[in-house]
């Protein structure tokens, strides 16, 4: 089944404790992206990657890191999480960055930072 998977689905952590949220897709998509969803703000892009070893900042990259060493994986790293990073995070992928391609989303990771 074609899908985007994220782990963990739920995570409660404390301020400053480094964490990684994994994202993997099995559709051979070139383009992958991370979003955070906050009430009333819709989805805001954190980082995106157009292909292996090619990443770029989105609208809200501060406090996050990403890497794209393999085409299928795009982990999101929070080196020193803070309470304002409490949010619902989504990974997404699409065939390419072309305008007409829709994105496929993972199930989401609900992160709470205390």
Nearer to another protein, 13 or 37 (CB): 37
Shortest spacing between CB 10 and another protein, in angstroms: 10
The secondary structure element, H or E, covering residue 76 is strand 76-78
**Pair of tokens at residue 28:** 């051979």
Report the candidate in 16, 50, 37, 44 with the shortest Cα–Cα distance to residue 110.
Answer: 37
| Segment interacting with another protein (CB under 8 A) among 12-20, 64-72, 79-87, 106-114 | 106-114
Nearer to another protein, 76 or 82 (CB): 76
| Segment interacting with another protein (CB under 8 A) among 17-25, 62-70, 77-85, 97-105 | 97-105
| Segment interacting with another protein (CB under 8 A) among 21-29, 68-76, 79-87, 90-98 | 90-98
3-class state of residue 84 by DSSP: helix
Report the candidate in 98, 10, 114, 19 with the shortest Cα–Cα distance to residue 64.
Answer: 19
């Amino acid at each position: 089944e074609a899908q985007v998977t994220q782990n963990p689905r739920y995570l409660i952590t404390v301020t400053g404790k480094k964490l990684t949220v994994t994202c993997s897709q099995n559709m051979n998509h070139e383009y992958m992206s991370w979003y955070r969803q906050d009430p009333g703000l819709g989805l805001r892009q954190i980082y995106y990657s157009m292909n292996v070893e090619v990443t770029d900042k989105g609208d809200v990259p501060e406090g996050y890191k990403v890497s794209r060493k393999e085409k299928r994986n795009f982990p999101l790293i929070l080196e020193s999480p803070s309470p304002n990073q409490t949010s619902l995070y989504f990974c997404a992928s699409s065939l390419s960055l072309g305008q007409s391609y829709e994105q496929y989303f993972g199930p989401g990771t609900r992160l709470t930072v205390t």
